[in-house]
Amino acid sequence: MPSNKSVSDAPIVQFTNCRILRDHQLQREDLWVREGKILNPEKLFFDEKGSADVQLDCKDGIIAPGFIDVQINGGFGVDFSLATEDFKSGIDLVSQKILSHGVTSFCPTLVTSPPSVYHQVLPQISVRNGGAHGAGILGAHLEGPFISKEKKGAHPEHCLRTFEAGAFQDLLATYGSLDCVRIVTLAPEMKRSSEVIRELIKRGICVSLGHSVANLSQAEEAVQHGATFITHLFNAMLPFHHRDPGIVGLLTSDKIPAGRRVFYGMISDGIHTNPAALRIAHRAHPKGLVLVTDAIAGMGLAPGRHTLGQQVVEIDGLNTYIAGTKTLSGSVATMDTCVRHFQEATGCSVETALEAASLHPAQLLGIEHKKGTLNYDSDADFLMLNDSLYVQATYIAGEEVWRQDTLGM
């Protein structure tokens, strides 16, 4: 077929001999990419009379959308909640290292910190596209300090805050700026939280409920005001009770506004959530499940002492504790590990496991038109995986940014 480059001179790459995750199914078809976007081959053939410039044989591998991690506190020795002079090089290191675990976009997450930390760190986080330099940054996730003392988890109590009169101004003064902020986790039972939720939603910021002792009606009210996410379900919230299921009850609530979906994060590392609890959540509300790592600076490092913001944590195997306690403090699991554990623990399909780390977080952030799918015209951020869901190669904007056999793990 003669090539007609009237539309674009950019090379067209055709990935062949693969199974593509599209429309919730692994489909045996080719993937076509040009200029960082996924092409519709019918338009290419019939409108442009075009053909591929390069063909790549995927050797019967799986092609899935790149993973999106909306809660990651750091990794590889870097802690996003520490205001250091080389913060930018730290965030660059993490964004580069997570490519090998299939993450193509992420939300750097700050745990509860003094205002001075937010004021120093947030101006150094900028939304940017991914590429060979590393995964794309979608904006910061601020987890606290407006959370419950009773359910503070690994967050330092002396830094916790409540909403005073002029609640939203108080939040602005604490953070300094919301320019690069994508998600805020807060406890909805706090006085004046409703007005804060409404103001954040107006600015296009996702509100997540977590580190909270809220009852179900308080959680439902927060959702009615615009909250759409639950931070690490089951962890740092009231346990499920049959007379008042608390925030967990949102998974099956009949008070969710029409057309709205509540999403919930789960740390599927085999430590934070018993496999039975993972199965209960998934069966109750499969379309809302978002896999998150909640990874801390110790991810990718040897066991020992590391930091999480203002606290010292100890890593023992996959367990991470506030030093000297048995309080869990984030995870050291990578996203690809979480996907494999989720699939194994729930017995769900490969498609379901992959979408929990790609499509669902994209839907949560309202970016599913460009990320989290392999639909035509979406960003060509995708992974090649084997049948055991180990990442073989990572692509951003159609360019290979990591490959197993060349860089190793």
Nearest to 144 by CA among 86, 80, 198, 225: 80
Instruction: Give the whole-angstrom CA distance, residue 397 versus residue 409.
Output: 22
- Known binding positions: 143, 154, 211, 232, 235-236, 243, 272, 328-330
Instruction: Give the whole-angstrom CA distance, residue 189 versus residue 150.
Output: 12
- DSSP code of 274? -
Residue 12 pairs in a beta bridge with 34
Instruction: Give the whole-angstrom CA distance, residue 226 versus residue 219.
Output: 11
Give the tokens for residue 368: 């599913």
The letter for the amino acid at 328 is L
Instruction: Give the whole-angstrom CA distance, residue 152 versus residue 328.
Output: 11
Nearest to 12 by CA among 35, 29, 30: 35
- By three-state DSSP, how is residue 389 classified? coil
- By three-state DSSP, how is residue 235 classified? coil
- Known binding positions for Zn(2+): 143, 211, 232
| Cα 163 to Cα 140, 155, 172, distances in angstroms | 21, 17, 11
CB 170 within 8 A of CB 163: yes
The catalytic residue among 79, 269, 294, 379 is 294
- Which residues in 23-166 belong to E strands, given as ranges? 25-28, 31-34, 37-38, 54-65, 67-72, 74-75, 78-79, 103-111, 136-137, 140-143
- Known binding positions for substrate: 154, 235-236, 243, 272, 328-330
47 is a catalytic site residue: no
- DSSP code of 46? H
- Helices 167-175, 193-202: inter-axial angle, 10-degree rounding: 60
Which helix (H) or strand (E) is 209 found in, with range? strand 206-209
Give the tokens for residue 50: 């075009």
Instruction: Give the whole-angstrom CA distance, residue 106 versus residue 70.
Output: 5
Instruction: Give the whole-angstrom CA distance, residue 350 versus residue 343.
Output: 7
Contacts of residue 169, defined as CB under 8 A and 6 or more positions apart, other chains included, come to: none
- Which residues in 66-118 belong to E strands, given as ranges? 67-72, 74-75, 78-79, 103-111
Q: Which residues are catalytic?
A: 294
